[in-house]
Amino acid sequence: MGLNKKRKIEDLKESRAVSEARERLRDDRTRGIVKWVFEIIVTLVFAVLVAISAFQTVTLQESAMEPTYSVGQKFFVNRALYKIKSPKRGDVIVFKTSASDDAALHIRRVIGLPGETVQVKDGKIYINGKVYEENGAYQDMTDGGLANSAITLESGEYFVLGDNRNNSEDSRYADIGNVKKKYIVGKLWFTISPRSKIGFLKG
């Protein structure tokens, strides 16, 4: 076999090897990109599922929280928070009065905590016999309802009031009563409408 012919065969083999190497590199890059895109999609889907399970929207249907919040305002509710901790005084919570799927959602402020004794006297709130000094300008209550007599909260029970103290159905009345933790949906967390009030809630 002539020298030139040998060189041509070697050049052809080398060319094929280079082509195969380039093809493998392209395949590796393609697989890497596909894997990267797949991981991003899986991450996004997981994030969406977590968000759906952790949050829900609610619209304020009652005037009980005015003037702090107005009828028609829409919020995100943090459903995950109270799975790892308990509501604290001052939290604005979303709750039901029963386990029924059709039970209405209510929005009120936590005043009394489990184990505490709550009473309304002379329009003021007393907790364990002492006047509760609130952070906010709320009306003195003209009707203490059930809380005219001292109410001692059991384990897992919360005493709630609306910010519109003289136009609020809350723990002072039997239709609401003390709110059980198992019926608390979550904490009011973020305003989504109206646009002028979009943002995280304080507290």
Structure confidence at residue 51 as a pLDDT band (50, 70, 90): very low
Residues with Cβ < 8 Å from 109, sequence gap 6 or more? 65, 90, 91, 92, 93, 160, 161, 162, 163
Average pLDDT, the chain: 84
> Which phi and psi (to 5°) does residue 87 adopt?
-60, 145
Structure confidence at residue 154 as a pLDDT band (50, 70, 90): very high
Q: Find tokens 């009031």 and name the residue.
A: 161
pTM greater than the 0.85 cutoff: no
Mind listing the pLDDT tens digit for each residue in 90-114? 999 999 998 888 889 999 999 999 9
Closest CA to 156 of 196, 110, 190: 110
- For the CA atoms of the chain, what is the radius of gyration? 31
Closest CA to 163 of 65, 95, 61, 59: 65
